[in-house]
């Protein structure tokens, strides 16, 4: 059966200490046509040596707070590439955002983008939309686009949010900048995903496996 909804779901494992059995459950779910990426913290990559080539892995850099040094974050990204990640998802430092340190953000993003491009890896940015004003987020998106990063994940999934607030934020950022958005939040039902699809958002990041399996069961 074709996926008429055109949803693409990224499965996020929030547990940084997940064992192999749990990762394998997430990895198996990620092999469907609707779920196209397994998103895990970089430290878990080495646990999956035998299946790295059969699924697409997005490595979460400095997850969830984004407060480590640029050197540490760069090493983390290079480690992820070495262990087979096809996507590097960089958590943007919330302190730098609030302080308006756009130059430092641009410098780090530009450096990371260069490394990723040289290794045929896609760099994306992870933000926490609920912690910042629209003006700050729009400025950030413009910096990202100017440095070759065309996709954001709009939440780490660790902050409790409201679906309506998430939807409005996506609509605002996409309308103002045209950036691609992976919606992440308390999304549990096909009806909720359809609300996002109505404003042009068709990629989602979910971490509650039972809900993902229920939705996927309808779509594949």
Interval 137-190: pLDDT, tens: 999 999 999 999 999 999 998 888 899 999 999 999 999 999 999 999 888 888
Q: Check whether 47 has a pLDDT greater than 80.
A: no
* Tokens coding 106: 């641009």
Taking residue 100's Cβ as centre, other Cβ atoms within 10 Å add up to 11
Q: How far apart are CA 43 and CA 20, in angstroms?
A: 13
State the fold for domain 8-219: TIM Barrel (3.20.20)
* Interval 57-71 mean pLDDT: 92
What is the pLDDT at residue 144?
98
**Average model confidence (pLDDT) across the chain:** 87
Exposure string of 6-22, with b = 16+ CB inside 10 Å and e = fewer, is ebbbbbbbbeeebeeee
- Is 68 within 8 Å of 99 (Cβ atoms)? no
Q: What is the DSSP letter of 124?
A: E
pLDDT grade, residue 133 (50/70/90)? very high
* Tokens coding 44: 């878990």
pLDDT grade, residue 85 (50/70/90)? very high
The full set of domain ranges for the chain reads 8-219
For 21-41, what is each residue's pLDDT tens digit? 777 777 776 666 667 888 988
């Amino acid at each position: 059966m074709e996926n008429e909804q055109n949803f693409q779901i990224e499965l996020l494992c929030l547990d940084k200490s997940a064992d192999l059995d749990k990762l394998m459950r997430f990895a198996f779910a990620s092999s469907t046509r609707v779920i196209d990426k397994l998103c895990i913290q970089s430290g878990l990559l080495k646990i999956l040596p035998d299946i790295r080539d059969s699924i697409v892995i997005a490595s979460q850099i400095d997850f969830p707070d984004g407060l480590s040094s640029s050197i540490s974050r760069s090493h983390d990204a290079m480690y992820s590439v070495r262990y087979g990640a096809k996507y590097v998802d960089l958590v943007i430092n919330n302190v730098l955002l609030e302080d308006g340190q756009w130059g430092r953000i641009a410098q780090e993003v530009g450096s990371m983008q260069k490394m990723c491009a040289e290794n045929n890896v896609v760099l994306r940015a992870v933000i926490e939309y609920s912690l910042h004003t629209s003006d700050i987020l729009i400025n950030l998106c413009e910096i990202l686009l100017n440095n070759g990063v065309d996709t954001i994940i709009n939440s780490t999934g660790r902050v409790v949010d409201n679906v309506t607030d998430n939807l409005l934020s996506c609509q605002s950022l996409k309308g103002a900048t045209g950036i691609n958005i992976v919606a992440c939040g308390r999304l549990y039902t096909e009806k909720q995903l359809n609300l996002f699809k109505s404003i042009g958002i068709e990629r989602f990041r979910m971490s509650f496996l039972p809900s993902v399996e229920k939705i996927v069961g309808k779509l594949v």
